[in-house]
Structure 1
């Protein structure tokens, strides 16, 4: 996960936390967190990058709507990141 941007890591976490979210649901979650609009031109290319890296799978709900889910590799990467962070955060 070291080669992902912060935005891509946030995308991965949102996808993992929601049940097969579609693009607009992901966008809504991130807009709430960032407190600003996320443009489609930023969202979808970054989702495609996560798919290309094998961290996220993309499926089709209907002809206009895709859904996303984390892959096994994506979940492993999230866990590895949490373990790394926990070395530096006193919990």
Structure 2
């Protein structure tokens, strides 16, 4: 996961948090979070990267809509990332 961009990590979190996430649902969630438009030319190449790296599985809902799902590897990587982040949050909170 160390070689992913912040945007790609955010995509993993959103994919993991939605039921049957498809491209437009992911785009909407990220636009709300980033408070800016996410262009298709940014979204879909990053989704393809996550698929190619084995973090996400892509399937078809219909001829025009792809669904995205975390793979077991993607879930393990997210869990490890959250554990790593929590370690530093705990240290920060206990120092306060």
Deviations, residues 54-87 of structure 1 (Å, cap 9, x unaligned): 0000000011110000000000000000111111
Shift of 1:12: 0.4
Aligned residues: CA RMSD: 0.8
Q: After the TM superposition, which residues 1-91 of structure 1 pair with which residues of structure 2 at under 5 Å, given as runs?
A: 1-90=1-90
* Residue ranges of structure 1 left out of the alignment (5+ in a row): none
The structure where helix makes up a greater share of residues is: 2
* Residue ranges of structure 2 left out of the alignment (5+ in a row): none
Tell me the TM-score normalized by structure 1. Answer: 0.97
Tell me the TM-score normalized by structure 2. Answer: 0.92
Residues paired across the two proteins, number: 91
Larger Rg: 2
Moved over 6 A (4+): none
